[in-house]
Structure 1
Amino acid sequence: MKITKVEAIPFAIPYRKPLRFASGEVTEAAHVLVRVHTDDGLVGVAEAPPRPFTYGETQASIVAAVCGLFADLVIGLSPLEREQVRVRLGRTVGNPTAKAAIDMALWDLAGQSLGVSVTELLGGYGDRMRVAHMVGFAEPAEMVAEAGRVREQYGISTFKVKVGRRPIHLDVSACRALREAMPDAELYIDGNRGWTAAEAARALRAMTDLDLLFAEELCPADDVLGRRWLVGQSGIPMYADESVPTPGDVTRELLGGSATGVSIKTARTGFTGSHRVLAQCEGLGVEVVMGNQIDGQLGSLCSLAFGAAFEATSRQAGELSNFLDMADDLLTEPLEIRDGLLRVREAPGLGIDIDASKLAHYRTDRV
């Protein structure tokens, strides 16, 4: 089985309401569908969500990188030669989500060809994950209402609360309102680098009694001394996210004392890179959470496939519900969250079937 063609199809699906956080605002899922074809007629798929305010990638740059740089490097290889693919793509700096999408599509192909799910290929630990839901910037009452609706409708009881606003009391008030409304829920905060280390320390002191699970990326990655100081000040674990786009960055953040946990995102490290990150974290004795890059259903299914495959990634609820805010999606069989859980699909590979009519409607290259 050899790779014969690689496609990168841009598409855009609106959100029902804007998603707001410290590093930006998203009003539509302007993503890229990556498809890898083989001479056996199999097609592996994955989703690349650009985040220019985080990694510098845009929808156009992902299409250009996949079609103009990476396709020629992988055509003719077997989908099982993933390490060869990793090395070839690694010669180009950056472009993490473009590379990750190709990697995940190759795992999809491998699973299809062998007749097993990607979760089984990766580790096969479980077949489901608890789901965490992200609550974006809004007035406290609105954030409480959203969390309450999601909990009632989908059974989700873990919430990632976006923080990083100024003045900090806006976010402290919101977190306090959420805790008062849901005393038994799991809550953690994500600053998207919005605060200084001193502001973050003040906010954490003001929220000491809220029983937060952890705090994620409260201040910028290049504030090396401030981040180390903040870890020493904090009474809860401090997770790295945007600051760890590569395994090397993970090593730097953990050994440098700038973080005590890591958010793994298959959208930026694929399955191959995410496995390396997980192994590093296990070796260093730190916990992980399955993060979300505001993925659609396809990207969320990839996160689920990886997260359910390992015991360490299954301990905490994974961020698998951002697609609920999208007006539509591309899958013929939509994901269903029930009782706060998402189950892995039993079909070979990732179990993905793209709705051709929806893709034709939402693609933005109009071919």
Structure 2
Amino acid sequence: MKIERIEAIPYSIPYSKPLEFASGRVSDAEHVLIRIHTDDGVVGTADAPPRPFTYGETQDSIISVITKIFSPAVTGLDPMNRGKIHQILARTIHNQAAKGSFDIALWDIIGKATGTPVNRLLGGFTDSMEVSHMLGFQPAQQLLDEALRFQDEYGINTFKLKVGRRPLSLDIEACRVLRAGLGPDTELYLDANRGWTANEALEVLRRTDGLGLSLLEEPCDAKEAMSRRRLVEKSPIPVVGDESVPTAGDASRELLSGGCNAISIKTARSGFTEAQQILGLCTGLGVDVVMGNQIDTQLGTIATVTFGAAYEATSRRAGELSNFLDMSDDLLAEPIAIQDGRIGVRDVPGVGADIDEDKLARYRQDK
């Protein structure tokens, strides 16, 4: 079996409700569908979500690096030879979403070719993941209304609140209203997307003490090294590295330097192969992990579930898996269902991300 050709298809699907947070705003899923075709007729599929305000990648840059750099270098190789292919991809620095989607598509091929679900190839620990829902910038009462609706409709009981606003009182009020309205048994954690300084984050922690918050993600820019180290030392809850740890090397640097003491793993930027490396580092050091969300479509979400449910450590916490519900449509042929606050692994060969070709034709931007 050999790689015959590679497609990088730009598409755009509007969000029915835009998501706003400290480092940007997303109103349309302007993503790239990656398809790796083999000479045996097996096709691996994955989704690449550009996040220019976080990693610098755009639709155009992903298409360019896939079609002009990666494709000529790997065409003709056996997709089973992932080590050799990754050595080739690594020659080009950065471009994490492009590399991550390429890797997931390779795993999809391997699963289909061997007749095995990729979740089982990775580890097969469990058959579903608990869901966490991400709440964007809104007035406090609207945040509570959304959280209560998701509790009622989907059984979700873990919420990640996007913070990082000024004045700090906006986010502090949101924390208090959510805790009062959701009760003590709902998990609530924060993600500032580098919106504060480290000292502002310490002030928020002081003023929200007693609310039972479980995590504080990317409170400030990791370049604020000394103050961030002080924040990690003084924080009563784990400080999660996210944008600052897209690779295994970055995760190692931040953990060893004291820049964070928990890690968000996102398959959209690491694929499955580097996510395994990051997870191994974290479990070896005794560091908590959470499966994060790159404002994923259902395609990206099913990849996260595939990986997250494969290991005990990644399935301990609820994964950020539900923001596709804010989209007006999706490309997945068989839509994801959230039942009792969980999403199940697809028991089919590969990742289980078959595409609705009519929808792809409707939303693709290159034709």
Same fold (TM over 0.5): yes
User: Shift of residue 171 of structure 1?
Assistant: 0.3
Partner of 1:175 in structure 2?
175
Letter of the 1:38 counterpart: T
Letter of the 1:106 counterpart: L
Deviation digits for residues 165-202 of structure 1, max 9, x if unmatched?
Answer: 00011001001101001112100000000000110000
Partner of 2:56 in structure 1?
56
Letter of the 1:333 counterpart: E
Letter of the 1:240 counterpart: G
In 2: Cα distance, 1:354 partner to 1:204 partner: 44
User: Shift of residue 79 of structure 1?
Assistant: 1.2
Matches within 5 A, 1:274-353: 274-353=275-354
Deviation digits for residues 274-320 of structure 1, max 9, x if unmatched?
Answer: 00000000111101000010010000000000000000000000001
User: Shift of residue 78 of structure 1?
Assistant: 1.1
Alignment coverage as a number of residue pairs: 366
User: Shift of residue 221 of structure 1?
Assistant: 1.5
User: Shift of residue 218 of structure 1?
Assistant: 0.5
Matches within 5 A, 1:1-367: 1-183=1-183, 184-366=185-367
In 2: Cα distance, 1:240 partner to 1:45 partner: 28
In 1: Cα distance, 2:21 partner to 2:5 partner: 37
In 1: Cα distance, 2:123 partner to 2:229 partner: 34
Deviation digits for residues 119-167 of structure 1, max 9, x if unmatched?
Answer: 0000011110000000000000110111111111100000000000000
In 2: Cα distance, 1:226 partner to 1:109 partner: 45
Structure 2: tracts of 5 or more residues without a match: none
In 2: Cα distance, 1:164 partner to 1:352 partner: 34
In 2: Cα distance, 1:364 partner to 1:149 partner: 34
User: Shift of residue 347 of structure 1?
Assistant: 0.6
Deviation digits for residues 217-266 of structure 1, max 9, x if unmatched?
Answer: 00001111111010012101111000001111101100111111000000
User: Shift of residue 64 of structure 1?
Assistant: 0.7
User: Shift of residue 353 of structure 1?
Assistant: 1.3
Letter of the 1:141 counterpart: Q
In 2: Cα distance, 1:128 partner to 1:49 partner: 23
In 1: Cα distance, 2:259 partner to 2:30 partner: 32
The residue matched to 2:45 in structure 1 has which SS?
strand
In 1: Cα distance, 2:142 partner to 2:312 partner: 35
In 1: Cα distance, 2:352 partner to 2:18 partner: 29
In 2: Cα distance, 1:310 partner to 1:126 partner: 7
User: Shift of residue 349 of structure 1?
Assistant: 0.3
User: Shift of residue 331 of structure 1?
Assistant: 0.9
In 1: Cα distance, 2:16 partner to 2:234 partner: 39
The residue matched to 2:78 in structure 1 has which SS?
coil
Letter of the 2:224 counterpart: D
User: Shift of residue 17 of structure 1?
Assistant: 1.4
Deviation digits for residues 71-113 of structure 1, max 9, x if unmatched?
Answer: 1121111111111111101100110000110100000000001
Letter of the 1:7 counterpart: E
Letter of the 2:257 counterpart: G
In 1: Cα distance, 2:180 partner to 2:133 partner: 18
Runs of 4+ in 1 over 4 A off after TM superposition: none
Letter of the 1:64 counterpart: S
Deviation digits for residues 39-58 of structure 1, max 9, x if unmatched?
Answer: 11010000000000100000
In 2: Cα distance, 1:226 partner to 1:86 partner: 36
Letter of the 2:182 counterpart: M
In 2: Cα distance, 1:287 partner to 1:17 partner: 31
The residue matched to 1:129 in structure 2 has which SS?
strand
In 1: Cα distance, 2:156 partner to 2:192 partner: 22
User: Shift of residue 356 of structure 1?
Assistant: 0.5
Letter of the 2:326 counterpart: D
Identity fraction in percent: 57
The residue matched to 1:221 in structure 2 has which SS?
coil
In 2: Cα distance, 1:269 partner to 1:73 partner: 20
> Normalising by the residue count of structure 1, what TM-score does the alignment of the two structures yield?
0.99
In 1: Cα distance, 2:155 partner to 2:308 partner: 19
In 1: Cα distance, 2:194 partner to 2:349 partner: 39
